[in-house]
Amino acid sequence: MNTTMTHTRNGWQSLFYKEIWRFWKVFGQTVTAPVLTSVMYLLIFNHVLADHVKVYDTVSYTAFLVPGLVMMSVLQNAFANSSSSMVQSKMMGNLVFLLVTPLDHWDWFFAYVGAAVVRGLCVGFGVFIVTIWFAELHFAAPLWIALFALMGAALLGCLGLIAGLWADKFDQMSVFQNFLIMPLTFLSGVFYSIHSLPTFWQNLSRFNPFFYMIDGFRYGFFGKSDVEPWLSFGIVFTTLAIVSTIAVHLLRIGYKIRS
């Protein structure tokens, strides 16, 4: 009994480290490139929208933009890590080696989602380090920053895992990316406050869980947000619980990995 538990625990760690090493050995592609992309977003959108988008009275548009770009990078890269890893393993046929190990579905879940969280936070931290030079930021509520960053990365890691289990090739995964993740991200208030939108679009934005992740994260810097941080926390936490439950269930039944 104890031997089995030890092997499982070590296996979980090995799978987690393997997933970390998978993205780290191509650091330029998985971390550096997204950071440079975010800097380009900052330069372009700041130049085009700085005089046209109304944000909080005491916050410049550049400062407002930085946390949004950081969180967007966290979300997109957490999703990309777990989804691409699962699809790549299915296409290469090496999932069979994991199926014969004593790892259970929880081990798979924590390894894949944990690695996605690490990559998302690494990229987000890189974006923050580079873009902070463009604006003066404050840390009004650091715990909210950490909490929403972790929950957001975990949620998108779970979504990526679901997408990777569903897709059999990268073309199918790109459908998930292009028609769900990207629209929800760009319509979440990364580049604007929803109070600058017409009433209809403000109300529609409130049905987007990505909005609450970014708005709560931004609150940690400025102490201001479009909605109360506790409301954002409740919605993000509930969404994370639902998505993670689905991901664990799919792993438990071996959805599209045991056939």
What is the rounded CA–CA span in Å between residue 179 and residue 202?
21
Domain range holding 148? 2-253
- Any domain includes 173: yes
The mean per-residue pLDDT over the stretch 143-159 comes to 97
**Residues 76-90 pLDDT 10s:** 999 999 999 999 888
pLDDT attached to residue 77: 96
The torsion angle over the Cα atoms of residues 135, 204, 233 and 59, rounded to 10 degrees, is 20
- Under the banding of pLDDT at 50, 70 and 90, the label for residue 8 is very low
Residue 35 lies in a domain: yes
* Other CB atoms within 10 A of residue 200 CB: 8
The answer as to whether 258 is a domain residue is no
CB contact at 8 A, 210 and 184:
yes
- Which of 42-46, 140-144, 149-153, 238-242 comes out lowest in average pLDDT? 42-46
DSSP state of 196: G
Q: Is residue 239 part of a domain?
A: yes
Between CA 145 and CA 43 the distance in angstroms is: 23
CA terminus-to-terminus distance, the chain: 29
Please, which pLDDT band fits residue 6 given cuts at 50, 70 and 90? very low
**Residue 147: per-residue pLDDT:** 97
Handedness of CA 143, 149, 152, 154 (dihedral sign): negative
| 259 found inside a domain | no
| 155 within some domain | yes
Whether residue 118 is contained in a domain is answered as yes
Average of per-residue pLDDT across 240-247:
97
149-152, long-range: CB < 8 A, 24+ apart: 149/71, 149/74, 149/120, 149/121, 149/124, 149/217, 150/117, 150/121, 151/213, 151/233, 151/236, 151/237, 151/240, 152/71, 152/74, 152/75, 152/78, 152/120, 152/213, 152/217, 152/236
- Structural domains counted in the chain: 1
Looking at every residue in the chain, the average pLDDT score rounds to 88
pLDDT digits (tens, 9 = 90+) for 174-190: 888 888 888 898 888 88
What is the per-residue pLDDT for 3? 41
When mean pLDDT is compared across 111-115, 155-159, 209-213, 222-226, the lowest value belongs to: 222-226
Is residue 116 a part of any domain in this protein?
Answer: yes
| Separation between Cα atoms, residue 121 and residue 156, nearest integer Å | 12
The pLDDT value recorded for residue 73 is 95
